[in-house]
Amino acid sequence: MHQTQRKSRIFVKAWSFPQYHCGAGEAQRWVTDIMEENQISALSEFILVIHELSMETQEAEDRSIYDKYLSQVAIILAKVVQGRPIGEDVATMEKLFGNTWLKDDAAYSTAYSAWDRFKDLLVKSIHGMTVNERLFSLGLLEEFDGATAKRDKSKLRSILAKCFLSEQNIQAIIKKELGKR
């Protein structure tokens, strides 16, 4: 049985019958492991999709863009495997997608769809976290504290957007943080 499937089943059992199997802390660690494995799998899938698109393209200009995608996702994958923060790296990849255009629109759509699957998993993994937990897990806490100290509203907005917060939440947090003295 695949390790992820085994952990999933154990988690369900642990959650249903914690007195017989394990504590909530151990069950939470299994959930975290499963989410990490899913993120690694989605990043691996993205790499393979980009590699295949790169090999199939007839557009020489697109190959350098594929190389940029692969270079950036390699950094993200390495950091996920090492358990290091990826907030800035995910934002850099989003900028890369926003500032590069493949000549083949269908290829761009395929590439971005594969990237979007990873982003969806990332958002799900931080969904129940507080803003501070998100800032910490994405490696943005020091940057946030610095922007707050400087009262830099645009920098705060940028940092909070990397935490996948709604515009309404971003505005409320900025108002609260900048209202402090």
Protein fold of 3-126: Substrate Binding Domain Of Dnak; Chain:A; Domain 2 (1.20.1270)
Give the whole-angstrom CA distance, residue 121 versus residue 143: 24
Q: Which helix (H) or strand (E) holds 156?
A: helix 153-161
List pLDDT tens digits, range 26-84: 544 544 566 788 899 999 999 999 999 999 999 999 999 999 999 999 999 999 999 88
What is the C-alpha radius of gyration for the chain, rounded to an integer number of angstroms?
A: 19
**Residues near 151 by beta carbon (within 8 Å), at least 6 away in sequence:** 178
**Mean pLDDT throughout 113-128?**
90
Is residue 62 within 8 Å of 103, Cβ to Cβ?
A: yes
Measured between alpha carbons, how far apart are the two ends of the chain, in Å? 56
Q: Say how far apart CA 22 and CA 155 lie, in whole Å.
A: 43
Q: What's the rounded mean pLDDT across residues 125-147?
A: 89
> Which has more confidence, 125 or 118?
118
pLDDT of residue 15: 39
What is the pTM for the complete model shown? 0.72
| Pick from 43, 37, 31: nearest CA to 119 | 43
More confident residue, 147 or 24: 147
Residue 154 pLDDT class (50, 70, 90 cuts): very high
Domain boundaries, the chain: 3-126, 131-179
